[in-house]
Amino acid sequence: MTDLRSTLATTGPIDLAAHPSDATPGFTGTKRDAKRLLPEIGARLMDLQELLFANGRAGTTDRKVLLLLQGMDTSGKGGTLRHVAGLVDPQGLAITAFKAPTDEEREHDFLWRIGRRLPEPGMIGVFDRSQYEDVLIGRVRELAPADEIEQRYEQINAFEREFTGGGGVLLKCFLHISPDDQRERLAERLEDPTKFWKYNPADLDERSLWPQYQQAYEIVLERCSTEYAPWHVVPAGRKWYRNWAIATMLGETLAELGLDWPAADFDVEEQKRRLATM
Amino acid sequence: MTDLRSTLATTGPIDLAAHPSDATPGFTGTKRDAKRLLPEIGARLMDLQELLFANGRAGTTDRKVLLLLQGMDTSGKGGTLRHVAGLVDPQGLAITAFKAPTDEEREHDFLWRIGRRLPEPGMIGVFDRSQYEDVLIGRVRELAPADEIEQRYEQINAFEREFTGGGGVLLKCFLHISPDDQRERLAERLEDPTKFWKYNPADLDERSLWPQYQQAYEIVLERCSTEYAPWHVVPAGRKWYRNWAIATMLGETLAELGLDWPAADFDVEEQKRRLATM
């Protein structure tokens, strides 16, 4: 049986324009079906996450999972956090939303701030934006010399190889939308006063560079989709599919860890006897 | 109409032994009613939290909320995180579980590590244990000289006055269980291999000091329940009541902030025109 991760994983050169954003690979039902399935997937995620968390607390695992979300403005990184990350126990989650680097962060290598936010054993980390910003906006806006940008792809690969070599699992998701999807969503934000706070005039400046960003993403997907940390292209024009797909892949990732409940590191019967006397 | 916070708030001397842990103050329904109500409360919490978060992002508020949980082992701090904090958008949550202080933390004043984990504007912080450990285990185990412990109550009050003076709201909850509740829950952990990881033989050493801990809590509740940061005694013998009560009080706290959606800090019509051309 193929899992969804292998269906959505990308290898080699990719032409994003040829990927419809409203596709629903691996899912045959309706929107209603997907919405109905989500709480079931959530219950399973909660159980699997508790197993990971328990092992982290017991010190019996070095495993940790990092869900990394990238995508254009309005692609639904926040919605994924709310609807997918929101399915699990917040105690076991470590969410980081990366913004423009601070002065302190700028004094270090671009991976410094990323390394500090990697999840601990037993935890599920979620990155809302990530190290890839430094080869996306970094490349499009020429925020560093071209040769420095070029070197970053391999630096990122080496960084991810180290993370996955140390018990980490990376689930990298590119939330793929079309320019029309974005226009529609930006327009919604401008029509609804409860959404003004999500809107930033600078979003249109970025939008004007759509082809450049798509190209920068294509380079990322080609150079940084590795065996140990593949990229997944998640069609995100339909929010219900995006949520279903990411929740499903997160479930596959957690299940594959194959963890068991940590054994007692104390004498259970002795403890029962002691408790009975108190 | 009285809200639940004022029902559960405590002032002056308190005798915890006189408070039944299976009481359900402010709630008249059944367990089933409480469980059915929780998702409704959750939907409202989600909306109110988004309003707070939106203002935080827009930079239009200094408000933040801190839910502080204290209680004996098995009193349900973790369960509250899972079932109550889990109701809201994890993006807007900042959870800290305080453990025994690290060497670095020990080099500073006991409030140093606490101050670093206070929520930012727009966020809901949750403390699983807190500054109060330093007058609970700190007092019972004599981890500092008696006169130093004595001074901490006022230091905590001053610290909390500063936090609330700067736009913070503190919701302090003591999860109150009886020794029998604890015996039952520890016994459950010892019967169920999926719960061994939650059990620590040291829990029984603490249990053997139950009266000392209750007294230490009584002192905390008397000295540190202030007008600006009252303590709430939440009967936690029934998990469904505990969840309902804390979710309800969190909702009251968020509603009282009286926030509106942030206004646009850009010209909406101009942005619509620009978007239409792209």
The minimum CA-CA distance between A150 and chain B, rounded to whole Å, is: 30
B-proximal residues of A, 97-116, CB under 8 Å: 97
Judge: B271–A190 Cβ closer than 8 Å, yes or no.
Answer: yes
Q: Are A27 and A245 within 8 A, CB to CB?
A: yes
Beta bridge partners of A94: A125
Residue B116 token pair: 């670093």
The C-alpha of B44 sits at a distance from chain A's nearest C-alpha, in angstroms, of: 15
> Hey, of A98, A185, A197, A206, which one would you mutate to test binding to chain B, going by the most B CBs within 10 A of its CB?
A197
Query: Using a CB-CB distance cutoff of 8 angstroms, which residues of chain B are in contact with residue A277?
Result: none
B90 CB within 8 Å of a chain A CB: yes
Count CB atoms within 10 A of the CB of residue A216: 20
CB–CB of B190 and A90 under 8 A? no
Per-residue pLDDT of B91-101, as tens digits, reads 999 999 999 99
Chain A residue numbers with beta carbons less than 8 Å from the beta carbon of B204 are 271, 274-275, 278
Answer yes or no: do A201 and B266 touch at CB < 8 A.
yes
Provide the mean pLDDT of chain B.
96
Q: For chain A, say whether B94 makes contact (Cβ under 8 Å).
A: no
* A93/B81 Cβ within 8 A: no
What pLDDT, in 10s, does the model give residues B168-185?
999 999 999 999 999 999
For A140-159, b/e burial (b = at least 16 CB within 10 A) is beeebeeeebeebbebbbeb
Query: For residues A193 and A188, what is the distance between their CA atoms, to the nearest angstrom?
Result: 10
Nearest to A242 by CA among A233, A251, A229: A233
Q: Is there a contact between A54 and B197 if contact means CB atoms under 8 Å apart?
A: yes
* Sheet bearing A93-97, strands edge to edge: A9-10, A231-235, A168-176, A64-71, A124-128, A93-97
Is B277 an 8 Å CB contact of chain A? no
Question: Which whole number is the average pLDDT over B143-158?
Answer: 97
Q: What are phi and psi of B67, to 5 degrees?
A: -95, 120
CB neighbourhood size of A4 (10 A): 20
Decide if B250 touches A, using CB distance below 8 A. no
Cβ burial, residue B107 (10 Å; 0-12/13-18/19+): exposed
To the nearest whole Å, the CA of B227 is away from the closest chain A CA by 30
Model confidence at A111: pLDDT above 70: yes
Chain B residue numbers touching A95 (CB-CB < 8 A): 90-91
Per residue in B105-123, pLDDT (tens digit) is 999 999 999 999 999 999 9
Residue B12 CA to residue B275 CA, distance in Å, equals 60
Is B138 part of the contact surface with chain A (CB cutoff 8 Å)? no
Q: How far apart are CA A128 and CA B107, in angstroms?
A: 34
Interface check B188 vs A, CB under 8 A: no
Cβ–Cβ gap A204/B128 under 8 Å: no
Nearest CA in chain B to A60: B197
Q: Contacts of residue B271 in chain A, CB cutoff 8 Å?
A: 190, 199, 201, 204
Residue A207 sits at the chain B interface (C-beta within 8 Å): yes
Given a cut of 80, whether residue B1 has pLDDT beyond it is: no
Task: Give residues with Cβ within 8 angstroms of A69, minimum separation 6.
Answer: A77, A80, A81, A126, A127, A128, A129, A130, A173, A175
> pLDDT (tens digit, 9 = 90+) per residue, B136-145?
999 999 999 9
Give the neighbor-by-neighbor strand order of the sheet with B64-71: B9-10, B231-235, B168-176, B64-71, B124-128, B93-97
The Cα–Cα gap between A275 and B190 comes to 10
Confidence of residue A2 (pLDDT cuts 50, 70, 90): confident
Q: Using a CB–CB cutoff of 8 Å, tell me whether B194 touches chain A.
A: yes
Of B28, B242, B210, nearest to A275 by C-alpha is: B210
* Mean pLDDT to the nearest integer, A128-135: 98
Across the interface, which of A58, A90, A200 has its CB nearest the CB of B90?
A: A90
CA distance B266 to chain A (A): 7
Across the range B235-262, mean pLDDT stands at 97
Percent of chain B residues topping a pLDDT of 70: 100
Second CATH level (architecture) for the domain A4-183+213-276: 3-Layer(aba) Sandwich (3.40)
What is d(CA B52, CA A86) in angstroms, rounded to the nearest whole number? 17
CA A163 to chain centre: 15
According to the model, what pLDDT value does residue B266 have? 96
Question: Confidence class of residue B243 from pLDDT cuts 50, 70 and 90?
Answer: very high
Cα of B148 to nearest chain A Cα, Å: 32
Tell me the nearest-neighbour CA distance from A227 into chain B, angstroms: 30
**Taking CA atoms, what residue in A is nearest to B267?**
A201
Q: For chain A, say whether B273 makes contact (Cβ under 8 Å).
A: no
Question: What is the pLDDT, as a whole number, of residue A17?
Answer: 94
CA distance B12 to chain A (A): 31
Question: For residue A251, what are the CA distances in angstroms to A28, A49, B58, B156?
Answer: 18, 9, 34, 43
* Distance to chain B for A28, nearest Cα, Å: 29
Rounded to the nearest angstrom, the minimum Cα separation between B197 and chain A is 6
Distances (CA, A) of A58 to A49, A55, A266: 14, 5, 12
Contact between A42 and A87 under an 8 Å Cβ cutoff? The reply is yes
Residue closest to B124 by CA, chosen among B61, B217, B71, B186: B61
> Quick one: tokens of B2?
């009285």
Q: Which of B2-6, B158-162, B242-246 has the lowest mean pLDDT?
A: B2-6
C-beta separation of A168 from A66 below 8 A: yes
pLDDT for residue A1: 54
Test B204 with A275 for CB contact under 8 angstroms. Answer: yes
Which residues have C-beta within 8 Å of that of residue B243, sequence separation ≥ 6? B34, B38, B79, B80, B83, B84
| Closest-CA residue of chain B to A50 | B194
Across the interface, whether the CB atoms of A90 and B93 are under 8 A apart is answered yes
Please tell me the predicted confidence (pLDDT) of residue A108. 96
Task: Tell me whether A47 touches chain B (CB under 8 Å).
Answer: no
Do residues B14 and B223 lie in contact, with contact meaning Cβ atoms separated by under 8 Å? no
Please report where in the chains the tokens 């609804």 appear, as a residue.
Answer: A192
Does A272 sit within 8 Å of B183, measured CB to CB?
no
Is ipTM > 0.85 here? yes
Backbone Cα Rg of chain A? 20
Token pair in block for residue A8: 């959505």
Chain segment B34-61, per-residue pLDDT in tens: 999 999 999 999 999 999 999 999 999 9
Pick from B58, B271, B278: which is nearest to A197 by CB? B58
Q: Indicate the average pLDDT of chain A.
A: 96
| Domain range B4-276, CATH class | alpha beta
